[in-house]
A and B are shown apart, each in its own frame.
Chain A
């Protein structure tokens, strides 16, 4: 836009009054970018230097939103030297206060002569429920309770009470304990990652290698040989055996132990890849889907085809499934194993909470809830194993008395300043009156104005009020839900028998939803959440300098994880980008080759670019399905194709880390070569035609023209392609995440997905993946590493691909100018 000087000057003068609009026009962009991109980037930097493990704590009693007392959250771990400034009291005082509450709670829990239990015990004595306990003993016990002096119980009386307690079996307690044990085992089995990523540097990650090297593995092999299995082993083996037979598995594991098979061997990978493939084939060659089969009739077939019942004792109890459903078998007679197995199956997603039944050739959710095996068993336990509350409490109270007399509870009371522990004082009633040194803490609390807020009684009162409010709320909802049930039932009855229609489905779903709602609210009424579960601790971000980076670089496990994810990203990107650029170069050369004059150029471009616009997630899921592997009758596309070429056994691609990497790289290549090609074609088209003509006149052949004219002039475009591809490649997430997002793999052993875990997947997992433990500091630190890696690599690419001739020419020009200036000067 060459204009006269005067004109442009005029324009500028005129424009001056409008200049302020320029700021106005760019203001939205600048503001939004600053708030939503730049500020988060800065905070990410800040977080990378902060220790900000956010904890979902359960606490009460707070001032300035900090917990003074909290069962799970210790503020002294959060604050360093600035503790007093942040919390308001000295660390020592805080710890003392905290200890006081802890001790008080524990003492109350262990109090041998107060509370619910003692009332239950008195009641049991009154009603004569304590079988085998003599009247004499009962009298002594009553006296001891009344006088709060346990010394009144002599050895004989005590022995009698202890005998009664050891003979007493609390059904509910037993079964609950069993359930809790199962649940704990399952959680441990399902989430080794949480422990693995925890901070302690001596805890090694659970990897394939560590399993095989560990004693656990030796024990596991031993167990395999002896055929005596713990629940955990059974679960593990059941998982492992889904795809391979027992013999193969034992052989394989033995081989691994002998060192004849490598750890990253494909079969180990295979075993783990197929952990969550509940597919088996029955006698007729039909595939059985563990999720959808009518449970009772087919689960046995399903399990028998996996060849395990022969080897695992507890699984034989599936024989008795029908008996359970018919309530013929007593669950209590050592049959917890069955429940354990069922829970395992349920937790691993093999069976549904709601039973599916076949109706009119379609699987639908069973209406009759009593048919639901888990539900039935729960109901059965509830009905038949409600233990006597009085006896149950009495039993636990006797345990407390026993523990107290054996000095277990004594320590608590001694710590609280009771010197005369043997003559028991009901301390919680007489706390304020006693002359113990706890007084000074009370005084302290009064001084800092926390007495009203923080007394234990105050807490109990608040808690009770809170629970009552919750119960009231839930009761109202329950009534509402119960009122809505008949309507849903009527709607369902109206369309009963019309299975398969939309109306039927809708009514069916509504009815199920109504029932679930009633159950949920009933649960809320029965087990209201207390205050302790309500207040979430505010995560505290404390600047810790380079601690996060230190953790990454000094903790071997974490370094391997982080470095591994960077290496994986690099491998995946390089594997994809090299063929992508080569092919794009070739295709763009052909498409612009005037000698061939390819027809249908636009169509080709359109077709080749198509994969790039499709959702990457869809593509990943599609390829995951195509390359899936199944030993059953249902075969994936890759298996079918291999079968056509004479490999009926197929190949399990996702069993191998490298095959998976190649698949991901292929997808990236496939999605992006069209894009690169179009960019390059545009670049080539921009090169002046006359250059080619003169080259032709000079007698250059096609290859020479290409290497000497096209490629050098294409350098900026190639640079652009490389840099954008690098920035995108380092942020690779959608495809590896979805191609390897196998819940069983992640849950069973986090190490399995590591061969394709990219940086972003790692950040995502650290910052958002885990339920209880969010390592935001680590995630931010890795983000910052990613940021700098990108910058450095971009600069390197710029440097490597810089136009040396142009730079030289420029320098020469400058030099000439200088010289000219010197001459003139």
Chain B
């Protein structure tokens, strides 16, 4: 597809990376600005939008086969822009609201609707909110962050390495039953992962892994979706000649995989690593059952405790929510191109 605004996307990333400290306010502001720039002010008024689309409309007019008259086409284009802009804004407005309100005190938040950060005293108020959150909460966000990081990073590494290994094994070796194994892997992708939870809990209980991060990390070795995706990638862009050549040169099979084939698979692995990481980071169901100790809880579990009515300080709540969103937003800003191409390639599991 057209890459018109790729530069703009990079701008977003740069802007945010420039000042991570103020990213709460910056990210949303920048994104908002970029939207406005990108659709060239189509967000504010119909007229503006109409003017903007004129050039493209004129260009289109020159095409001989077009049957619609230019005025109707312009109106149609304007409508499209407005709808698209509306949904683009709808997609980010909650985050803008969340980040902005993280810099306000509870009183201001609950007395009037605010879609702008606290310019006057935002940083101090954010600090204050942080103190309120940490002093009132029975949990610590840093612990949650640490736990989430450990689980997500470990399981991502395991997922991509072993999935690559499996996909490579299926691709390069014509062993007996290869097709059956592959068919089974594709088949089990359809099995809802949550249905075995009672059996899984019992198993973890027997193995003594309840309330242990390992119970969420080890199963990551077997990720049918990732295997499927990497296998697809290998089928389309991996030549067995490389393996042959490597064998002739006397390299062992694992050496070939680790040193020669794995680097070739990097694009597919990178995409899958992102999804695996996000999936693990956002996971709530299994951790909510397997992790009971406060010191073991992951970030989503901590966030879910922000619900309780013990928390009535809206500033602190929005601060906590923003903190849980921020890492993902930052990762997303840098990697959105890979993510979106990954989704387009159908490699996303629901």
Contacts and interface: CB of A to CB of B under 8 A. Distances in A.
B300 A609 contact: no
Interface stretch (A217-225, A304-312, A339-347, A731-739): A731-739
Interface in A713-743: 720, 723-725, 727-728, 730-731, 733-734, 737-738, 741-743
Contacts of B253: 18, 21, 24-25
Contact of B203 (A22, A36, A505, A779): A36
Contacts of A43: 196, 198-199, 202-203
A609 B340 CA distance: 8
Interface in A267-288: 276-279
Nearest to B168: A25
A360 interface: no
B166 A25 contact: yes
A550 B33 CA distance: 60
Interface stretch (B15-23, B118-126, B173-181): B173-181
Contacts of A587: 84, 87
Interface string B276-310: 00100110110011000000000111011011111
Contact of B284 (A617, A641, A725): A617
Interface in A686-731: 696-697, 701, 720, 723-725, 727-728, 730-731
A32 B221 contact: yes
Contact of A678 (B202, B300, B340): B340
Contacts of A820: none
A4 interface: no
B31 to A, nearest CB: 7
Interface in A226-276: 276
A807 interface: no
Contacts of B5: 599-603
Interface stretch (A373-381, A524-532, A632-640): A632-640
Given A47-B202, A641-B113, A679-B343, A603 B9 contact: yes
Given A611-B91, A618-B325, A701-B67, A32 B219 contact: yes
A605 B340 contact: yes
A293 to B, nearest CB: 11
Nearest to A609: B340
Contacts of B98: 622
Contacts of B310: 291, 349
B218 interface: yes
A595 interface: yes
Nearest to B110: A634
A812 interface: no
A44 B324 contact: no
B304 A617 contact: yes
Interface residues of A, number: 129
Contact of B174 (A15, A40, A586, A682): A15
B203 A26 contact: no
B186 interface: no
A728 B168 CA distance: 28
Interface stretch (A198-206, A391-399, A748-756, A762-770): A762-770
Nearest to B219: A36
Contact of B221 (A29, A44, A586): A29
Contacts of B203: 35-36, 39-40, 43
Interface stretch (A93-101, A186-194, A404-412, A780-788): A780-788
A5 interface: no
A141 interface: no
A9 B169 CA distance: 20
Contacts of B324: 615, 617-618
Given A40-B203, A602-B5, A613-B339, A618 B92 contact: no
Contacts of B135: 364, 505
B321 interface: yes
Contacts of A18: 172-173, 247, 253
Question: For this complex, into which size category does the number of interface residues on chain B fall?
Answer: 35 or more
Given A277-B309, A621-B303, A22 B172 contact: yes
Which of B202, B303, B308 neighbours the largest number of chain A CB atoms within 10 Å of its CB?
B202
A733 B194 contact: yes
A701 B343 CA distance: 30
A520 interface: no
B84 A590 contact: yes
Interface in A581-612: 583, 586-587, 590-593, 595-611
A242 B175 CA distance: 69
Contact of B76 (A279, A596, A611, A730): A596
B91 A607 contact: yes
Given A32-B219, A603-B35, A614-B325, A621 B340 contact: no
A616 B282 contact: yes
A364 B132 CA distance: 10
Which of B67, B314, B344 neighbours the largest number of chain A CB atoms within 10 Å of its CB?
B344
B169 A637 contact: no
Contacts of B195: 41, 44, 783-784, 786-787, 790
Contact of A41 (B196, B317, B332): B196
B221 A783 contact: no
Which of A600, A602, A640, A786 neighbours the largest number of chain B CB atoms within 10 Å of its CB?
A600
B197 A28 contact: no
B250 interface: no
Interface string A451-470: 00000000000000000000
Given A15-B174, A36-B219, A597 B56 contact: yes
Interface string A156-172: 00000000000000000
Given A14-B244, A615-B281, A760-B285, 18 more contacts: A18-B247, A19-B174, A22-B170, A23-B169, A24-B253, A28-B165, A28-B166, A36-B203, A37-B193, A44-B196, A599-B5, A606-B340, A608-B88, A615-B324, A618-B300, A674-B91, A675-B348, A681-B1
Closest CB pairs A-B (n = 9) = A25-B169, A22-B173, A728-B350, A40-B199, A43-B199, A682-B344, A600-B38, A33-B222, A22-B175
21 contacts: A11-B240, A15-B174, A21-B173, A23-B169, A26-B170, A30-B181, A30-B222, A36-B218, A595-B60, A606-B332, A615-B284, A617-B303, A622-B94, A622-B98, A682-B346, A723-B190, A741-B307, A742-B309, A768-B201, A779-B198, A791-B190
Interface of A: 11-12, 14-15, 18-26, 28-30, 32-33, 35-37, 39-47, 276-279, 289, 291-292, 349, 364, 505, 583, 586-587, 590-593, 595-611, 613-626, 633-637, 640-641, 644, 670, 673-675, 678-679, 681-682, 685, 696-697, 701, 720, 723-725, 727-728, 730-731, 733-734, 737-738, 741-744, 760, 763-764, 767-768, 776, 779-780, 783-784, 786-787, 790-791, 794
